[in-house]
A and B are shown apart, each in its own frame.
Chain A
Amino acid sequence: MLNLKTQKLMLKTFPKGGIHPAENKITSSNDIKRMSIPKVVYVPVSQHIGIPSEIIVDRKDKVEIGQIIAKSSGFVSSNIHSPVAGTVTKLDKIIDSSGYKKQCIVIRTDPKNESNFKIPEFPLVKEITLSQKDILQHIIDHGIVGLGGATFPSHVKLDMKHDKHVDCLLINGVECEPYLTADHRLMLEKADEIIIGIQILMQALHIEKAVIGIENNKKDAIEVLKKATLVDDRIKVAALKVKYPQGSEKQLIKAILKREVPKGGLPMDVGVIVHNVGTIFAIYQAVQHNQPLIERVVTVTGKTVESASNFWVKIGTPIKDLIEEVGGLPEGTRKIVNGGPMMGKAIKNTDVPITKGTSGILVISEEEASRQEAKNCIRCGQCVFVCPMGLEPHLLMNLTEKGLYERAGNEDIMTCIECGSCSYVCPSHRPLLDYIRFGKSIVKNLNTTKN
C-alpha cells in the first residue's frame, strides 16, 4: 500500500493546470488489426506542415507500392509515396480533414498486383550500419513526418544547423487524448523496434540521453518498454501522471526534465528534441528496412462503435472504409472526429482520407456531441486554474470579443497551445477556445504586418 503511494508521488507531471477527462480507452487491450486494402486511395500532397509536395506522376500512370508520387519541394516539406500498387486515375481537389479542398492524387488499387496483398514481415534488425548523414537521408527520402499530429517533417528537427546544444531526446508515448490508443498498442507490439529507432536517432544526433515519457494509465507499456530498454542504459522510461495535456511538447519537457521552453521558443532552445513513438517506429522502418511512410496505426473508436479497434491503415484510405470495417456508422452519430476528442477536428463527410497525421477516428453519439448554450461568465476562475500555459482564457475571450487584439497579444494569447482544457471545464459552457483561436489568427496577422 505504502509502496503504491510512494509510486504515485514519484510520478512526474507538469506543474500548473491540466484536467482529467474520462479516459475511455476502449481499444487498449486489442491487438492492432490490419485493414484490408482499399479499392481507391486519395493521397493529399499536403499532409505535413510546410510546403505541399510537388506531384511527379500523371493521370493513367502505373505506380508501384512505395514509389514516390510527390516530391518534397523545399526544406520544410516531405516526399509522398504511393501506398498501393495501381493506376493514377485522377489528380483532383478533394476535401481533407481541414475542411478545405486540397490537391490530391487518386490511385485505383490493382487487384491483380500481389504486392498489394502481401503482408509485410520485417525481422528485427538491431545493428545500425548507416552513417549519420545516411540516416538523415533515409528519413528525408522515406517521407517521415511527425505522427503525433503536428506532422512536422522529421528531418528538419534532426538537421541541426543551429549551433544549439541538444543533449536529450524525449520520446512522446504519453497519448493523453482520451479514446486514442494507437501509440499505446504500438509500444506494446513494437517495443524492440522503438528502442532501435531511438538508438538510430541518438546516433544521428550524437545524444547520450533519451527518455520515453508514458502516462501511468499504460502500465503494461511502461513495463514492456522498461524491459526493452535493459539493453541500453542510456534510455530511460518515465512514468507520468495521468493528466491532460501531459503529451503537449512543452508540458512534457517540463514534466520530465524540469526545463521550460521560453515563450515563442522551441524545445531545442532548452536542449531537447521530442519525437512521438509512432515517428520513431517509422524511422526504424525507413532506416533499417527502407520502408517509406505509407501506413500508420489509427484508432477507430467511439462508445457506440460496434467493434472499435486499432488498425494498420494505408495512407489515403477514405475514413468511410474504416468505419465500414468497425461495423458501420452507429445510429445516433452526431459527430465524426479526426483525432482525439480534445484537439481533433470534426469532419463533415467520411470521404476524407487518412493522412500521415491521423491518429484516430472518433465517432461521437448524441449526448456527448452537442454543445450546451453558453451562459454568462460567472468568474469562477476554473479556466484560469486549468490552463497549462498560465493564461487567463476568460480574459482572452473577452478581449477578442471586444476586438481588443493588441491587449490580447499582450496577455500572451499567442502562447495558447489550443489544448481545449479551458472550454472543457467552463461551467458556463463558454466557447473560450473558439474565440482564442480567432483572436490568435488576428494577432498573428497584426504581428506579421508590423514586422
Chain B
Amino acid sequence: MADPIIISASPHIHSNKTSKKLMYDVLYALIPAFLVSIYVFGISALILTSVAVISCILFEFLIQKFLLKTEITITDGSALITGILLAFNLPSNLPIWMIIVGSLIAIGVAKLSFGGLGYNIFNPALVGRVFLLVSFPVQMTSWPTAVVNNTTIVDAVTGATPLGIIKEGLMYGETMTTLSSKFPSTMELFLGITGGSVGEMSALALLLGGVFLIARKVITWHIPITMLVTMAVFTGIFWLVNPEQYADPLIHILSGGAILGAFYMATDLVTSPMTKKGMIIFAIGIGIITVVIRLFGAYPEGVSFAILIMNAFVPLINTYFKPRRFGNKIKSKIM
C-alpha cells in the first residue's frame, strides 16, 4: 500500500477560493442585466448572447486542441464570461456572422495568442468589440430601439443611443435644452428602457450585480467608483461651464456602457492593476480618456477605448505603484 501520508510544505489549508468560483460569481452578477436585456430586446438578446458564448467556448476549444495543442481550459469559465461580456457590448440586431467574427478575435487574438488566461494584456471582450466597431461601423452603431416584451426578432426599428443623439445634435448646432426631448429621461436610463448595447441597458440591474461582486470580494470598489467619480467630476465641470453645450454628468454615467465598463470590464482581474494605488490611477485614467473621447472625439462613447488604452499601461502601473514594503522607510520610486 502506498504511504497515505502527504508531506507538503505549509500552509496546509486553503481559502477554497478558486478562479472558477470567481468566474461563476461574475456570471451570477450578470444575470439581472441579462434578464433586463431580454425584457427590452426580446429573443434577439438571447440569440446574440448564446451565439457569442457558444462561439467563444468553441473557438477556445478548437484553437487549444488543434492549433496550440495545449491543455483545454474551456471549463475554467473565462471563455464563458468573455462571450457574455462581448454580447453585452453589441447591438442586439448584429448579424450572427459578425458575432462569430468578434468572438474569434476576442478568444483567438486577444486571449490565446498572448498565452491564454492570465497572460493577456487587453480585455478580450473589448478587443472583440472594438474590432467589430472599427470594421463594421454602420452595423455596430445602428441600435434597435427598445421593443418591450416583443418576442419576435427586431431589426426594422433602429435609433441612436442617447449619447449618439447628443453628439450628432450638438454638431448640427442644437442645444441641450432642445435635445433633451429627444432622448430618454434619466429615470428611463436608470431602469434601462432605451437604445444601446444588449447589456448596458439598465444601470439598476448592473449596479445590483456590481454590489454582489463587491460583497463577494471578487472586485473591490476602487476601480468602479473611482472611474465613475472621475467621469462625473470631469463632465460636471464642462456642464457647469456651459449646460447648453454639454450633457450633465448623470447622463454620462447612466449611458454609453459606463456602468457596464466600470463594474465588469475595467475590473477584469487579469487586465487591471494589482495594487489599490494602481487601481485608482488606472480608473482615473479610464474616466478621463472616456470623457475626452465622448466630448471631443469622433465616437459618441469612449469607455471601450479608454479601458483598452489603460490596459496597455497596466504593466507600467504595476511596476511603479508597488505596495508599501513593511519596514522599508524609503518610499518607492514615484509615490
Question: What residues make up the interface of A, taking CB atoms closer than 8 Å to B?
Answer: 16, 19, 21-22, 99, 178, 250, 254, 260-265, 333-337, 339, 341-349, 362, 364, 368-372, 375-382, 384-385, 387-392, 394, 412, 415, 418, 420-421, 423-425, 427-429, 431, 433-434, 437
Separation in Å of the A255 CB from the closest CB of chain B?
A: 12
Q: Mark B302-335, 1 if CB is under 8 A from A, else 0.
A: 0000000000000000000011111111000000
Question: Does A381 lie within 8 Å of B11, measured CB to CB?
Answer: no
Is B4 among interface residues, defined by CB-CB distance under 8 A? yes
Are B9 and A437 within 8 A (Cβ)? yes
Write out the residue numbers on chain B whose beta carbons fall within 8 Å of the beta carbon of A429.
Answer: 14, 18
Contact with A along B1-36 (1 / 0, CB 8 A): 001111111111111011101100000000000000
User: Which residue of B12, B76, B270, B276 is within 8 Å of A364 (Cβ)?
Assistant: B12
CB distance B18 to A372 under 8 Å?
Answer: yes
Report if B137 contacts A (CB, 8 A): no
* Beta-carbon contact of B13 and A390 below 8 Å: no
Give 4 closest A-B pairs by Cβ, nearest first.
A420-B11, A381-B274, A376-B118, A380-B269
- A328 to B323, alpha carbons, bound, how many Å? 46
Do A337 and B12 touch (CB < 8 A)?
A: yes
B17 / chain A contacts, CB cutoff of 8 Å = 382, 425, 427
Pick the residue among A345, A381, A390 that contacts B324 (CB under 8 A).
Answer: A390
**Complex contacts, B8 vs chain A, CB 8 Å:** 335, 346, 371
Whole-angstrom distance from the CB of A143 to the nearest CB of chain B? 27
State in angstroms the CA–CA spacing of A341 and B270 once bound together. 30
In the assembled complex, the CB of B280 is this many whole angstroms from the nearest CB of chain A, namely 13
| Chain B count of residues within 8 A CB distance of the other chain | 38
Partner of A21, one of B15, B273, B324: B15
Specify which of B15, B18, B274, B322 lies most central, judged by the most chain A CB atoms within 10 Å of its CB.
B15
Asked if B11 contacts A341 (CB within 8 A), the reply is yes
- A369 vs B17: C-alpha distance in the bound complex, in angstroms? 15
Residues of A within 8 A of B118 (CB): 376-379, 428
Which chain A residue shows the least CB distance to B20?
A427
Given contacts A260-B326, A262-B327, contact A376 B274 (CB under 8 A): no
A431 to chain B, nearest CB (A): 8
Q: B116, A376: Cβ atoms under 8 Å?
A: yes
Taking each of B11, B18, B322, B329, which has the highest tally of chain A beta carbons within 10 Å of its own beta carbon? B11
Residues of A within 8 A of B328 (CB): 262-263, 390, 412, 415
- Asked if B22 and A16 make an inter-chain contact with CB atoms under 8 angstroms apart, the answer reads no
Given contacts A345-B10, A372-B18, A379-B270, contact A387 B323 (CB under 8 A): yes
B14 contacts A392, C-beta separation under 8 Å: no
Chain B residue with the shortest CB-CB distance to A381? B274
Distance of A40 Cα from B190 Cα, bound (Å): 76
Distance of A359 Cα from B276 Cα, bound (Å): 37
- Considering only CB atoms, which chain A residue lies closest to B328 in the complex? A263
A261 contacts across to B, CB distance below 8 A: 327
Given known pairs A379-B269, A392-B322, the reply for A19 and B19 (CB within 8 Å) is no
Query: Do A378 and B270 touch (CB < 8 A)?
Result: yes
Check B5 against A390 for contact (C-beta < 8 Å).
no
- In whole angstroms, what is the CA distance A379 to B267 when docked? 12
Q: How far is the CB of A148 from chain B (nearest CB, A)?
A: 16
Further contacts, 18 of them, CB under 8 A, given A336-B5, A427-B15: A334-B5, A335-B5, A339-B10, A341-B11, A342-B10, A342-B13, A346-B7, A348-B5, A368-B13, A372-B14, A378-B22, A379-B270, A384-B274, A384-B323, A415-B327, A418-B10, A424-B14, A428-B19
Judge whether A424 and B11 touch: CB under 8 Å: yes
What are 27 inter-chain pairs, A to B, with CB distance below 8 A?
Answer: A21-B15, A178-B13, A260-B327, A265-B327, A334-B5, A341-B13, A346-B10, A348-B3, A348-B5, A349-B5, A369-B6, A369-B12, A376-B118, A378-B22, A378-B118, A384-B275, A384-B323, A390-B322, A391-B323, A392-B323, A394-B274, A415-B327, A424-B14, A425-B17, A427-B21, A433-B10, A437-B9
CB contact under 8 A between A348 and B9, given known A377-B118, A378-B118? no
Q: Interface on chain B toward A: helix, strand, loop, or mixed SS?
A: loop
**Residue B117 CB within 8 A of the other chain:** yes
- Which A residues are CB-close (under 8 A) to B14? 371-372, 423-424, 429
> Is B323's CB under 8 angstroms from A335's CB?
no
Q: Does residue B299 face the partner (Cβ distance < 8 Å to A)?
A: no
Measured between beta carbons, the chain A residues less than 8 angstroms from B274 are 379-381, 384, 392, 394
Q: Which residues from chain B contact A379 at a C-beta distance below 8 Å?
A: 118, 269-271, 274
Please tell me if the beta carbons of B12 and A344 are within 8 angstroms of each other in the complex: yes
Of all chain A residues, which has the CB nearest B279?
Answer: A381
- Per the bound structure, the CA–CA distance linking A392 and B278 in Å amounts to 13
With the chains together, A434 CA to B7 CA distance in Å?
Answer: 13
Q: A300: shortest Cβ distance to chain B, in Å?
A: 16
Return B207 CB to nearest CB of chain A, in Å: 22
Closest to A412 in B: B325
Which chain B residues border A388 with CB–CB below 8 Å? 326
Contact of B323 among A342, A371, A390, A423 (CB under 8 A): A390
| Contacting residues, chain B, for A362 (C-beta < 8 A) | 12
* Min distance, Cβ A254 to any Cβ of chain B, angstroms: 8
Quick one: given A348-B7, A378-B117, A437-B9, are A389 and B269 in contact (CB under 8 Å)? no
Q: Flag whether B119 is at the interface (Cβ < 8 A).
A: yes
CB <8 Å contact, B117 and A376: yes
Determine the chain B residues whose CB is within 8 A of the CB of A19 once the complex forms.
Answer: 15
Q: Is the CB of B10 within 8 A of A420?
A: yes
Q: Report the minimum CB–CB distance from B330 to chain A (whole Å).
A: 9
How far, in angstroms, from A16 to B15 measured CA to CA in the complex? 19
User: B12, B119, B324, B329: which contacts A376 (Cβ < 8 A)?
Assistant: B119
Nearest-CB distance from A53 to chain B (Å)?
27
A425 cross-chain contacts in B, Cβ below 8 A:
15, 17
**A334 CA to B3 CA, complexed, in Å:** 9
Q: Mark B228-271, 1 if CB is under 8 A from A, else 0.
A: 00000000000000000000000000000000000000000111
Q: For B4, what are the chain A residues with a Cβ–Cβ distance below 8 Å? A: 333-334
Considering the complex, give the chain A residue whose CB is closest to the CB of B278: A381
Q: Contacts A16-B326, A378-B270 known; A423 to B11 CB distance under 8 Å? A: yes
